[in-house]
Structure 1
């Protein structure tokens, strides 16, 4: 299968690690967007319960509806991007919608106002994600796709470090004025949209013909189908990371140290994303993904057996390697398996499969945790990850350049 070629050839002066201007700019956009989001997101449960008087059930309802909306929207935006043959327009709309919606939470007077804001925010994420991932593929040589996606994920995780850190510093100055903090979170979001509009170029791939698209969409590459099925199986064992925080508290980590623990976790993910993506270019996509899923399985076994606070710190650092080994490689593999004019649709399917499986995954983990305890619950997640790694090895025969 032929590789898609980068279309922003006039970017020689701004390349980093051999990456095109589009990839570097999209990395900055994701970092600033995550700074804005993570200034707000960790404080939303507190704002809902303490300021607006919502219950814990409503907090769960907000996130469930928001993530479900994002999953469905990713399917539609991927299809639409391929149908139009353009990427940037939907990416700009998605980032702009989230940037405009997010700080409006400062004006919320009732819990349902927050629900609407989160719905709009996740709607924007759903709109932008598949065409953005396809835009990265179209702006990158096939030989370094893992590096490009790894860089993008590293920048995203770096924003997840900067957002809480900035929020913490501002809270020291503002006290408990959460609404003011939420308004200030608009600043990095606005900067991200400006960079996107001014520094990212469109990658024309040509629209999918309307007469042939339904037939082609129904005849997805068998390798892609197998990969999506195995990813869905893995995700059924990949529950919310909130359970890791619960486990950390159980083994003795004080609540005041949990933000530091999570910042450390995000730093590991940020530090390993680019090297992990580069490794997938050098040693193959499938091998890196399998290695990452095995790291996940071992880490989950460790979390189930942990008995001391330092165990959690070590295990969380090790667990962070899973993200570095898989995130760039998984996205690069998707781009490798389909032609350029169907990449956005393929990314939409990929993200939707993960989003749809995430809910039963967390429900299963919660049930096992509450009924049988941490050890059996984390062991089930480890077993599913190990099984997915084995099936990936047996079922997937990726292109020779990404084996």
Structure 2
């Protein structure tokens, strides 16, 4: 199914006039199915690696860092390839396909090296697909409602993120300790998502000549209006602890049974699902930078709730709600902010630049926090990072304010 965007006037079906484009909805369905697949694995991975494979916290921090950051290796390449060819769907399809195949590859992977290789392949696939997919969303949407478009996409994406851990929980309840059944079911959902993308998502053609586009990418990524948001993103990213560490902290503090571990992901994703669209609309009204900084303030509170002296159900629910708020206020909002700072021809590469910074800094954060946990313990490590992130927020706001005015 091929649709050309070149020299074609915008229509309401494309999402202009305040409506969300059909392309955005279809990509949301693809992401929903893919997230069922990926979140099934993510929901069992921390316990699988620490309890079954036997990794220590520093080693787990390295693997979690790969899960967070290895996609940075190809994010710029994926964004530029989609821009250069003018067919971002085709690049996204390769990424979705690689990630789907990695699910079934987890079955024979039992050692540290094998698991690391499979996770690396999965994350490379994610890195390759993300910027072209977001460029498709931005290209099919009205610039005035980008926050809403990304919010709708992230909402559908998060439906899958809720269903994935629930499916993993159900499988582990029926067959305790059967991680293989989780991996096989995850692979099936990944294949269905890939099929929907290939058969039903329009192959939008975006942009002009490749050499002009490359020059604009180099020029615009180097301009001050994008450098400051990237610097703020780096500052905040290096102080963002991976979800797995927060869930392991809660599980250890409250002595939570292993079979209930996937439900922690469900709680976060339900909060994200409820807030993604409202916060996307709020970002369109009051400014995306404000919502982005506010989301990191919620993350500070989540660290305090996970590392503080109080345990029990109330503290755990607070961690999950605050973490979901953080993602709802930052994920699509960052892409929407950056997409308004570059031209249409360089949009995919601009988004990829921001995502690359997020991935690289979170890779460093995961390794650093794994070592910090090993040295000073769970609670002290979380409270220290909370203090550092709180101190960094005014600096991040100062960096982001000019970008907000430009956008």
Q: TM-score range by the shorter chain?
A: 0.7 to 0.9
Kept after mapping to 2: 8 A contact 1:306/1:312: no
Q: For 1:68-107, what aligned pairs fall within 5 Å after superposition?
A: 68-107=69-108
Shift of 1:59: 5.6
- Alignment partners' CA distance in 1, 2:286 and 2:311: 36
Superposition pairs of residues 270-309 of structure 1, within 5 angstroms: 270-309=273-312
What are the ranges of 5 or more consecutive residues in structure 2 without an aligned counterpart? 1-5
Q: Residues 284 and 264 of structure 1: is their aligned pair in 2 closer, same or farther, counting only changes over 3 Å?
A: same
Q: Give the alignment of 1:161-310 within 5 angstroms.
A: 161-174=162-175, 176-210=177-211, 213-214=214-215, 216-220=217-221, 221-256=223-258, 257-309=260-312, 310=314
Q: Distance in 1 between matches of 2:213 and 2:179?
A: 52
Quote the offset at 1:140 in angstroms. Answer: 0.8
Counterpart for residue 394 of structure 1 = 398
Unaligned runs of 5+ in 1: none
Q: Quick check: 1:103–1:186 contact (8 Å CA) kept in 2?
A: yes
Aligned CA distance change for structure 1 residues 167 and 371 (closer, same or farther; 3 Å): closer
Measure the CA separation in 1 of the matches of 2:206 and 2:406: 22
Moved more, 376-385 or 92-101: 376-385
* Whole-angstrom CA distance in 1 between matches of 2:51 and 2:303: 33
The residue aligned with 1:365 is 369
Q: CA deviation at 1:33?
A: 0.5
**Greater shift after overlay, 116-125 or 265-274?**
116-125
Residue 3 of structure 2 corresponds to none
Q: Structure 2-normalised TM-score?
A: 0.85
Partner Cα separation in structure 2 for residue 87 and residue 247 of structure 1: 39
Q: 1:95 to 1:9 in 2, by over 3 A?
A: farther
**RMSD of aligned Cα (Å):** 3.2
Asked if 2 retains the 8 angstrom alpha-carbon contact of 1:247 and 1:303, the reply is yes
For the 8 Å contact 1:231–1:388, the answer to whether it is kept is no
Number of residue pairs matched by the alignment: 396
Give how far 1:229 is off: 0.5
Deviation, structure 1 residue 105: 2.3
Query: CA 1:334–1:188 in structure 2 vs 1: closer, same or farther (change >3 Å)?
Result: same
Counterparts of 1:120 and 1:389 in 2: how far apart (Å)? 34
SS of the residue corresponding to residue 169 of structure 1 reads helix
Q: Tell me the CA shift for residue 250 of structure 1.
A: 4.7
The offset of 1:371, in angstroms, is 3.8
What CA distance in whole angstroms lies between the structure 2 residues aligned with 1:166 and 1:102? 15
Q: Bigger shift: 17-26 or 83-92?
A: 17-26
Do the aligned partners of 2:12 and 2:19 also contact (CA within 8 Å) in 1? no
Q: Structure 1 304/349 Cα, relative in aligned 2: closer, same or farther at 3 Å?
A: same
